[in-house]
């Protein structure tokens, strides 16, 4: 691991801790040369492709789901760790399917299902973008589903 301060290539691990669900390992490291400390995170690499609506395929990236959820949860009472936990759950669900390719609709549906359970406003925000409502009646029906 390269030091972010002096770029020396040798560091030592001072402390390691797993996250609650065991999917992330946090390590405190110290540079052998400059003696400064920094934190690294190890996470399971997800190797599968996402099949888009137009049938294009692209590698899965956690950041895309994270951005969409963060945007939906903007100014809502959810912490960054809540959002990261949500993304971890979604990734675990996808991984459990055992597929090398997964349709973007399945991922979107998983996100909506999780958001509906934790924050109805974030759910509506996400569904507006995801479902591309172009009809007010469809949008109102979605709101009615959540409010009942």
pLDDT digits (tens, 9 = 90+) for 57-101: 999 999 999 999 999 999 999 999 899 889 989 998 998 898 999
Q: What whole-number distance in Å separates Cα of residue 106 and Cα of residue 94?
A: 9
Give the residue among 136, 131, 126, 113 at the shortest CA–CA distance from 53. Answer: 131
Question: Do 17 and 83 share a domain, yes or no?
Answer: no
Question: Do 136 and 84 share a domain, yes or no?
Answer: yes
Mean pLDDT of 134-147: 85
Question: Do 38 and 53 share a domain, yes or no?
Answer: no
Does residue 19 carry a pLDDT above 90? no
If DSSP codes are grouped into helix, strand and coil, which group holds residue 5?
coil
Give the pLDDT band of residue 146 (cuts 50, 70, 90): confident
Question: Do 22 and 57 share a domain, yes or no?
Answer: no
Residue 32 inside a domain? The answer is yes
> Whose structure tokens read 């959002």?
83
Q: What is the extent of the structural domain holding 140?
A: 49-147
Number of domains in the chain: 2
What the block records as the tokens of 13 is: 């691990």
Task: Give the global pTM.
Answer: 0.70
Give exposure, 86-120, as e/b (b: 16+ Cβ within 10 Å). Answer: bbbebbeebeeeeeeebebeebbebbbebbbebbe
């Amino acid at each position: 691991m390269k030091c972010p301060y002096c770029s020396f290539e040798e560091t030592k691990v001072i402390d390691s801790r797993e996250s609650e669900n065991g999917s992330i390992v946090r390590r405190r490291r110290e540079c052998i040369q400059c003696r400064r400390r920094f934190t690294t995170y190890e996470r399971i690499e997800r190797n599968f492709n996402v099949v888009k609506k137009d049938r294009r395929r692209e590698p899965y990236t956690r950041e895309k789901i994270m951005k969409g959820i963060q945007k939906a949860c903007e100014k809502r009472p959810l912490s960054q760790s809540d959002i990261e936990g949500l993304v971890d759950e979604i990734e675990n669900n996808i991984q459990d399917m055992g597929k090398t390719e997964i349709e973007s609709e399945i991922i979107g549906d998983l996100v909506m299902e999780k958001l509906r359970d934790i924050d109805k406003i974030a759910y509506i925000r996400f569904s507006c973008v995801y479902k591309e409502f172009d009809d007010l009646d469809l949008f109102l029906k979605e709101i009615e589903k959540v409010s009942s």
